[in-house]
């Protein structure tokens, strides 16, 4: 069991609700790795006593983090820390490399790698005629042993010789760079929707669970489309971050 009372202080004069103060501090500890995945917390009564809070307040704080996917309640075990949310800045980067840099132990399962005919949406993104052959790949990306994202990419056929081995070992963007392709810019949109039954099964979520979506077309230095990606991410494990500046 892990005593966390020494790591948390509450400000009773603050307008911020007490439960949210506790939940925010716990989230900071999880994100910083101070509370590692699998760590068991004291029960809600003990935590409430240690912090001088009511049990309903403590239950609300724990419930908030359970809803966020940071904690889980297990019968006969208690409350445990699960893998923290992956926070990723909105920039032209590889998810595999971002996870590796954050020590999140990325792993890729290649579900499909084939040549298909481009539909109208893919053709428009890659600036080719519909029906033109393109390389299609489907991958399931893991972080610290848990499925995180389901990724679908289309690339102009013949541009790069892709193998499942390379994609499993290094990810797509490092493989493209190794082949001499330099990514320069991208058009990207982020959204959200509910998981289909197939997506939920692969990602370990319930059917209809919220997913974040990302659609991206990446270009090389000459402005030629290099790849068109349509990805979905577990909303309980993943967030996009961006910095805004005033005009």
User: Do 154 and 187 touch, CB atoms closer than 8 A?
Assistant: no
- Alpha carbons 201 and 72: distance in angstroms, whole number: 19
User: Do 246 and 162 touch, CB atoms closer than 8 A?
Assistant: no
- pLDDT recorded at residue 160: 87
- pLDDT recorded at residue 244: 62
66: three-class secondary structure by DSSP: helix
Q: Which helix (H) or strand (E) holds 148?
A: strand 146-156
Residue 161: inside a domain: yes
CA angle 158, 159, 161 (to 5 degrees): 70
Q: Are residues 110 and 11 in the same domain?
A: no
As a whole number, mean pLDDT of residues 150-154 equals: 96
Q: Are residues 47 and 119 in the same domain?
A: no
39: three-class secondary structure by DSSP: coil
Q: Are residues 192 and 92 in the same domain?
A: yes
Q: Are residues 188 and 91 in the same domain?
A: yes
pLDDT (tens digit per residue) in 54-77: 999 999 999 888 877 778 888 777
Q: Is the pTM of this model over 0.75?
A: no
- Alpha carbons 175 and 182: distance in angstroms, whole number: 11
Q: Provide the token pair at 186.
A: 């991208």
Q: Are residues 70 and 123 in the same domain?
A: no
Residue 30: inside a domain: yes
Q: Are residues 221 and 169 in the same domain?
A: yes
Q: Read off the pLDDT band of 1 (50, 70, 90).
A: very low
Q: Are residues 111 and 183 in the same domain?
A: yes
Q: Are residues 16 and 129 in the same domain?
A: no
Closest CA to 160 of 174, 175, 138: 175
Higher pLDDT, residue 43 or 244? 43
User: Do 43 and 8 touch, CB atoms closer than 8 A?
Assistant: no
CA angle 232, 238, 244 (to 5 degrees): 100
Percent of the chain predicted with pLDDT > 90: 42
**Of 17, 52, 81, which residue sits at a domain end?**
81
- Alpha carbons 159 and 116: distance in angstroms, whole number: 14
CATH code for the domain in which residue 23 is found: 1.10.10.10
Is the pLDDT at 226 greater than 60? The verdict is yes
Q: Are residues 120 and 17 in the same domain?
A: no
pLDDT (tens digit per residue) in 68-113: 777 888 877 788 887 655 555 555 666 766 676 666 688 999 999 9
**Of 32, 52, 81, which residue sits at a domain end?**
81
CATH code for the domain in which residue 188 is found: 3.40.1410.10
Question: How many C-beta neighbours within 10 Å does residue 7 have?
Answer: 13
Q: Are residues 193 and 110 in the same domain?
A: yes
- pLDDT recorded at residue 112: 95
Work out how many domains the chain is built from and give that number: 2
Range of the domain at 45: 5-81
Residue 117: inside a domain: yes
Q: Are residues 110 and 193 in the same domain?
A: yes
Q: Are residues 160 and 218 in the same domain?
A: yes
- pLDDT recorded at residue 103: 67
Residue 247: inside a domain: no
**Highest mean pLDDT of the ranges 17-26, 35-44, 116-125, 138-147:** 116-125
Q: Which helix (H) or strand (E) holds 179?
A: none
Residue 219: inside a domain: yes
Residue 246: inside a domain: no
Q: Which helix (H) or strand (E) holds 174?
A: helix 172-178
**Of 51, 81, 111, which residue sits at a domain end?**
81
């Amino acid at each position: 069991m892990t005593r966390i009372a020494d790591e948390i202080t509450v400000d009773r004069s603050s307008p911020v609700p007490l439960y949210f103060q506790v939940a925010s501090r716990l989230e900071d500890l999880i994100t910083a790795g101070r509370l590692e995945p699998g760590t068991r917390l004291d029960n809600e009564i003990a935590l409430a006593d240690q912090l001088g809070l009511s049990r309903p307040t403590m239950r609300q704080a724990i419930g908030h983090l359970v809803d966020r996917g940071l904690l889980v309640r297990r019968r006969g075990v208690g409350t445990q820390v699960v893998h923290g949310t992956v926070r990723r800045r909105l920039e032209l980067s590889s998810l595999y490399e971002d996870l590796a840099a954050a020590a999140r132990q990325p792993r890729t399962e290649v579900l499909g790698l084939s040549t298909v005919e481009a539909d109208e949406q893919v053709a428009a993104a890659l600036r080719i005629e519909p029906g033109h052959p393109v390389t299609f790949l489907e991958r399931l990306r893991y972080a610290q042993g848990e499925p995180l994202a389901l990724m679908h990419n289309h690339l102009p056929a013949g541009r790069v010789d892709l193998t499942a081995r390379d994609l499993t070992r290094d990810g797509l963007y490092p493989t493209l760079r190794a082949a001499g392709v330099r990514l320069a810019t991208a058009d990207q949109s982020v959204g959200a929707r509910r998981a289909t039954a197939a997506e939920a099964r692969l990602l370990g979520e319930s059917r209809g669970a919220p997913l974040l979506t990302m659609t991206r077309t990446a270009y090389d230095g000459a402005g030629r489309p290099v790849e068109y990606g349509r990805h979905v991410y577990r909303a309980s494990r993943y967030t996009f971050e961006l910095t805004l500046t005033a005009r």
